Amino acid sequence: MGEKSVSMAVDLGGVRMQNPVNTASGTFGFGSVFEDFFDVARLGAITLKGCSAEPWAGNPAPRMCEVPSGMMNTVGLANPGVRGMVEQYGEYLAGLEGRGCRVIVQAAGHSVEEYVAAVELIEEHCPWASGVEMNISCPNIARGGALVGGTPESASEVVRAVRPRVRRPLLVKMAPVRVPEIARACEAEGADALSLINTINGMSIDVRTRRSRLSKPTGGVSGPAIHAIAVRMVWEAAQAVKIPINGMGGVTSWQDAAEMILAGATSVTVGTASFYDPTCAADVVDGLAAWAAEQGVTDINELIGAFEC
Amino acid sequence: MSAGLSVHDFAVVSNEPAADGLMRIVMAAPELAAALRPGQFVNVRVPGDASQILRVPLSFSHADAAAGTVEIVYAVVGDATRRLSEMAPGATSTAVGPCGNPWSEVVGARRACVVAGGVGITPVVACARMLAGSGVAFDAVVGAQTAGRLWGADVLEGLGAGTVAVTTDDGTAGRRGFTTDALADLLAQGPYDVVYTCGPEVMMAGVARICREAGVPCRVSMERMMSCGFGACATCNVAMVDGTYKSCCKDGPVFDAEEVAW
């Protein structure tokens, strides 16, 4: 097949990955739980579950329900806090970096101050991390729950506050709204790469009880149901900015991943699929290499944005 | 972490009605059968509908390492379990497992009681096998809505249960009423060192209350909507009395009843 001859390494805004495959925050735990299924070091990178400065308990049950071709969640960013994460998983994650897989730590917050506190702790306690991803799709408590990154102005504000405090590559995980404008705003404030898309807000109602099927009225839809929307948004973002895109949304196979790359993603992230197909990310690594060889390129980078209309 | 957690291939050996609304599937999966401990569960991929992406988490009643088979008695409650009920002998798919923690044996326990409500009978039968294997004497309470939906009382007798008290909501079999009433009567006749239970949450809360009042340790097997079954998705949270959440799949599904915020 000649797969060996294709160079698979990519540079995601300074995060130098051995291949383009990453895992989505909140779908891969802190990595170690997947070692039972495959050698996690085969992946280009993993992105950790979002951590805030202090632990968050998250939302009550039920936190998930099924929808056609997908699922919805309202986990509420339950996490052990940066220090708790480092205590439990720091040694494993430092080792994973040593094994060749890049570790991206995700910062969560409900306000500019909370993001700053989280990234300062990450800078202090996670020397092994290759990058920091800031999730700006969280609700801003002080602004009535509007998304922290829901407008170009609010995205600019939080990226501007955080950027000088992060010495490593800074990725911004965008909400799936106003993509070109917010992408440009994040780039202008110094983001090194953009991750998109996050889940799309949805609702599911039990018509007998008239209640939400989640413990909150709304939740994030993920899975194959949102893939076509995600490819379109990745393409829009790639048109709008020069910084690299970390593309995700309903990627369940190498074909889905290849679509993301053609639409302009430098790296591709497997999310919800890992829940029901735990080896999916590893299988995507293999499938992409075979696809690149079949496409006749010697470097996967030649296929980034190679979509032809 | 569970020993041998992996994606296992399985083939259906048999898949027959066990009672009204309950099916009993036996699947050949030698490595899984050898790895499973009573109280753990598996997350089963049910083929036939690509739009239903998630697996179905199911407790098992018997993991037979010698035969290389896993027996699961399951309720047909939705599209996925309906499709599972249509899998014919020879059909193949995969199961993630072993998921979760096994029933914890109580050191020095000599007398136990197992209490099952509805399809909660499945991990309770697995528990009874564990007790029988350890030489712990046990009684059992088995409850269902109605006689037609009962399964497992004879299995528990076959495993050596002392008393098997049957209750139905409508009185069509055994005593009319709830498992909690039958448990209270059994407890009045003599103490247990531990009670194991699985069933509707309201029932388990009642069992937990009775055990607390009697000073008997109680272990419960909880159920939650979940995505992965191995600690990645953080969706199957169970509220604890200390105000924290624990994960049903990774910290449970077996909990000390005293920990759970009923």
Query: Is A138 designated active site?
Result: yes
Query: At CA A117, angle to CA A112 and CA A122, rounded to 5?
Result: 125
Domain B111-221: give its CATH architecture: 3-Layer(aba) Sandwich (3.40)
The per-residue pLDDT for A142 is 66
If we measure between CA atoms, which residue out of A176, A180, A181 comes closest to residue A202? A176
Predicted pLDDT of residue A1: 45
In CATH terms, the superfamily for domain A3-303 is Aldolase class I (3.20.20.70)
Phi, psi of A181 (to 5 degrees): -65, -45
What is the model's pLDDT at position A147?
83
Mind listing the pLDDT tens digit for each residue in B30-84? Answer: 999 999 999 999 999 999 999 999 999 999 999 999 999 999 999 999 999 999 9
| B53 near A CB under 8 A | yes
CB neighbour burial string for B2-16, b if at least 16 within 10 angstroms, e if fewer:
beebbbbebebbebe
Contact flag A33-B231 (C-beta cutoff 8 Å): yes
Q: pLDDT value at position B3?
A: 62
Q: Which residues contact A141 (CB under 8 A, 6 or more apart)?
A: A110, A111
Return the structure tokens found at A3. Answer: 């797969």
A98 Cα distance to chain centroid: 22
The SS3 call for residue A27 is coil
Residue B109 distance to chain A (closest CA, Å): 33
Write down the pLDDT at residue A146: 77
The answer to whether A53 and A110 are in contact (CB under 8 A) is: no
Q: Where are the alpha helices (DSSP H) in B3-103?
A: 30-35, 79-85
Residue (of B114, B113, B126, B116) closest to B42 by Cα position: B126
Q: Superfamily assignment of B6-99 in CATH?
A: Translation factors (2.40.30.10)
The DSSP code for B11 is E
Note the residue count of chain B.
262
pLDDT > 70: percent of chain A: 96
With CA atoms as reference, the chain A residue closest to B250 would be A33
Instruction: Give the DSSP H or E segment for B115.
Output: strand B111-117
Q: Across residues B122-150, what is the average pLDDT?
A: 97
B66 at A interface, C-beta within 8 A: no
Amino acid (1-letter code) at residue A155: A
Q: Contact A88/A80 with Cβ under 8 angstroms? A: yes
Please say whether the beta carbons of A71 and B227 come within 8 A. Answer: yes
Instruction: Round to whole Å and give the CA distance between A197 and A202.
Output: 14
Enter the DSSP assignment of B155. H
Strands (E), chain A: 10-12, 15-17, 21-23, 45-47, 64-67, 70-73, 102-107, 131-135, 170-173, 193-196, 200-202, 205-206, 211-212, 219-222, 245-248, 265-270
Q: b/e map of B242-261 (b: 16 or more CB within 10 Å)?
A: eeebbbbbbbbbbbebebbe
How far is it, in rounded angstroms, from Cα A220 to Cα B16?
38
Q: Which residues, listed in sequence order, are joined to residue B44 by a DSSP beta bridge?
A: B56, B95
User: Across the interface, do B245 and A64 touch by the CB < 8 Å criterion?
Assistant: no
The arithmetic mean of pLDDT across residues B79-106, rounded, is 96
Nearest chain A residue to B44 by CA distance is A276
Cα-flanking dihedrals φ and ψ of residue B233, to 5°? -100, -20
- How far apart are the CA of A76 and the nearest CA of chain B, in angstroms? 10
pLDDT digits (tens, 9 = 90+) for A18-70: 999 999 999 999 999 999 999 999 999 999 999 999 999 999 999 999 999 99
Q: State pTM to two decimals.
A: 0.95
Sequence spans of domains, chain B: 6-99, 111-221, 224-262
Give the three-state DSSP class for A35: coil
Which of B6, B201, B237 best tests the A interface by mutation, with the highest count of A CBs <10 A? Answer: B237
**Apex CA A35: angle with CA A31 and CA A40, to 5°?**
65
Q: For residue A67, give the chain B residue with the closest CA.
A: B52
What sign results for the dihedral spanned by CA atoms A215, A218, A222, A223? Answer: positive
* pLDDT at residue A174, as a whole number: 95
CB-based contact B131:B194 (threshold 8 Å): no
Chain A residues whose CB is inside 8 A of the B236 CB are 61, 63-64
**What pLDDT is attached to residue A3?**
44
**Predicted local confidence at residue B4, as pLDDT:** 77
Tell whether B9 is within 8 A of chain A (Cβ): no
Cβ of A61 within 8 Å of Cβ of B225? The answer is yes
What is the predicted pLDDT for the residue at A2? 43
Residue B226 has pLDDT above 50, yes or no: yes
Task: Give the separation between CA B101 and CA A285, rounded to whole angstroms.
Answer: 32
User: Which chain B residues contact residue A61 at CB under 8 A?
Assistant: 224-225, 236-239
Q: Are B200 and B221 in contact (CB under 8 A)?
A: no
**Residue recorded with tokens 């139905």:** B168
CA pair distance B200, B220, nearest whole angstrom: 11
- Retrieve residue B12's tokens: 């259906």
| Residue that is written with structure tokens 């018509």 in the block | A207
Of B6, B51, B233, the CB nearest to A68: B51
CB B179 within 8 A of CB B151: no
Rounded-to-integer distance, Cα B204 and Cα B198, Å: 7
Angstroms from A218 CA to nearest CA on chain B: 15
Question: For B224-262, CATH number?
Answer: 2.10.240.10
CB pairs under 8 A between A and B: 98
With CA atoms as reference, the chain B residue closest to A59 would be: B237
pLDDT digits (tens, 9 = 90+) for A230-255: 999 999 999 999 999 999 999 999 99
Write the residue in A34, A64, A68 that is nearest to B235 by C-beta. Answer: A64
What pLDDT does residue A75 have? 92
Print burial letters for B148-178: b (CB count within 10 Å at least 16), e (below 16). ebbbbbebbeebebeebbbbbeeeebbbeeb
| B6 in contact with chain A, both atoms CB, cutoff 8 A | yes
DSSP A166-233: --S-EEEE--SSSHHHHHHHHHHTT-SEEEE--PEEE--EETTTTEESSSSS-EEEESGGGHHHHHHH
Judge contact between A194 and A182, C-beta under 8 A.
no
**Alpha-carbon span B33 to B36, nearest angstrom:** 6
Query: Do the chains contact at A36 and B236, CB–CB below 8 Å?
Result: no
Cβ neighbors of A38 (< 8 A, separation 6 or more) are A278, A279, A281, A282
Which residue out of A138, A186, A280, A309 is catalytically annotated?
Answer: A138
Q: Which residues in chain B are contacts of A279 at CB distance < 8 A? A: 7
Residues of chain A with pLDDT below 70 are 1-4, 139-142, 144-145
